[in-house]
A and B are shown apart, each in its own frame.
Chain A
Amino acid sequence: MDRVVLHSDLNNFYASVECLYRPDLREKPVAVGGDPELRHGIVLSKNYVAKRYGIITGETLLEARQKCRDLVVLPPSYRKYLRFSDRVRKIYGDYTDRVEPFGLDECWLDLTGSLDVLGLDGAAAADEIRRRIREELGITASIGVSFNKIFAKLGSDLKKPDATTPITRENYKSVVWPLPAGDLLYVGYATRRKLSAKNIRTIGDLASTDPLYLEAWFGKWGLVLHCFANGRDSSPVAEYGQEAVIKSVGNSTTAPRDLVDREDVKITLWALSESVAMRLREQGLSCGTVEIQVRDTALFSFVRQKKLPRPTSLASEILKAGMELFEAGYDWKKPIRSLGIRGCGLVPESFPEQYTLFEDPEKREKLLALEKTADQVRRRFGNLSLRRAATLVHRDLGDLDAKADHVIHPVGYF
């Protein structure tokens, strides 16, 4: 029997919540964006009026204001969004226990087992869920209904706002296949360009390409994409709560000013590494891999990661790996706008470790005890009460309190 999978996407989530609370702004172009004073100046979300001016998510507030002089820019209030996200998930919970969030505003729901009890079919359940979100929370959702997660997600993108789009075994060839290949989950900019060079432009083109070719071009990803395009995606919708398992701990920041040299970068990475290390220790975890993200002033960005000789929750070791990655990966053609560092490959703190003869495990244990003591001081007197001297060199950069500022990001599909 086919599964019944829904993908629900809250339309213009941040902007919709803000506009609900500000009826006077609903007919005006509204964008939710970071604080332009602190240069976190990009559009995170916009309402439909702003969309008509051509404003797109991710562009800078400066660009957006050039398209629309009267744009109302509101700072994000994440606590409000978390509250709405939570309420929406409670509604989903009335229909199934298989609810898998994808960020704050998207969720997959597997209704296969519950439709009989509900006495509804997939589309009717989707309509009811949309009605409840609209009436109870004053925002809207677009829902795709299909027999797998990939097509359900595609469906939720097709009709907006507040619409249900079924994609069935009967209609997927006419509905999904004419869409551009880039609409498929995990076909990003680079893959799209490569596909287009092979004259594969639509999802249908992708579906009818010999998987052997795709494998030769993209490795095993090619086979995955071929399956996706043909609706063969059997990945399950996780049970509610399963997503709470932490996969990585990371912090990133847009610096208050452009970073122009190694020292600037090091100060910023220190602050971020301290926060990552402290949060790892809070969870009783160590990370086996360190990853950095660097974005320059032209908004070009890259990600590099490396495996550590042994898992760590020490800020000094996370920073060291981060700096090594940075120095190997950046050529300083442009100043840097934002930096991030993340620990992944997480293992429990108590994970047994094999030392070599020439290492001094005692020294590491002492360092860990020292950092844990620093944690306690910071818990009592604030995150900036005890800090690395290095972060005092440039006060304009060093005052970053990454731990208090950190925001939750959606995790990947796999």
Chain B
Amino acid sequence: MDPDGNPYKVYVNVCAEFNADGSLVPLSFVWEDGTRYTIDRVTDVRLAASLKAGGIGMRYTCRVRGRLTYLFLDDNRWFMERKGV
């Protein structure tokens, strides 16, 4: 749960791989309903703020089941934006 009680911020478990070149690539994440989603491709990595979830971090644009979604890494914690509440 987000310490500020923000309903749009969802912390998730992530399985990621550290590559030999030092890069970090998330492979899959577990959504709050327990479903594990495999990340097919990371299309973009950059520092970005999430106005919706309220936070900053390294933003991974991920292709998951044909859709683009953002995965943020902030200080060793991964979070995502919830679509609607």
Which positions in A face B, CB cutoff 8 Å? 20-24, 87, 134-139
A24:B6 contact, CB within 8 angstroms: yes
Q: Binding site of A, secondary structure by majority: helix, strand, loop or mixed?
A: helix
B6:A20 contact, CB within 8 angstroms: no
B4:A22 contact, CB within 8 angstroms: yes
Total interface residues on B, CB under 8 Å, equals 14
Instruction: A21 to B51: give the CA distance in the assembly, Å.
Output: 8
A23:B56 contact, CB within 8 angstroms: no
B51:A136 contact, CB within 8 angstroms: no
Question: Could you tell me the distance in whole angstroms from the C-beta of A101 to the nearest C-beta in chain B?
Answer: 20
- Between A and B, 26 residue pairs with Cβ closer than 8 Å are A20-B49, A20-B51, A20-B54, A20-B55, A21-B4, A21-B54, A21-B55, A22-B54, A23-B8, A23-B51, A23-B53, A23-B54, A24-B6, A87-B56, A134-B49, A135-B48, A135-B49, A136-B46, A136-B47, A136-B48, A136-B49, A137-B49, A137-B56, A138-B51, A138-B56, A139-B49
Question: Could you tell me the distance in whole angstroms from the C-beta of A300 to the nearest C-beta in chain B?
Answer: 38
CB neighbours (8 Å) of B38 from chain A are none
CB neighbours (8 Å) of A135 from chain B are 48-49
CB neighbours (8 Å) of A21 from chain B are 4, 6, 54-55
CB neighbours (8 Å) of B46 from chain A are 136
A138's closest neighbor in chain B, by CB? B49
CB neighbours (8 Å) of B8 from chain A are 23
Q: Is the C-beta of B50 less than 8 angstroms from some C-beta in chain A?
A: yes
A21's closest neighbor in chain B, by CB? B54
Question: Could you tell me the distance in whole angstroms from the C-beta of A198 to the nearest C-beta in chain B?
Answer: 48
A90's closest neighbor in chain B, by CB? B47
Q: Is the C-beta of B52 less than 8 angstroms from some C-beta in chain A?
A: yes
A19's closest neighbor in chain B, by CB? B54
- Nearest first, the 4 closest Cβ-Cβ pairs linking A and B are A138-B49, A136-B47, A21-B54, A23-B54
Instruction: A135 to B53: give the CA distance in the assembly, Å.
Output: 14
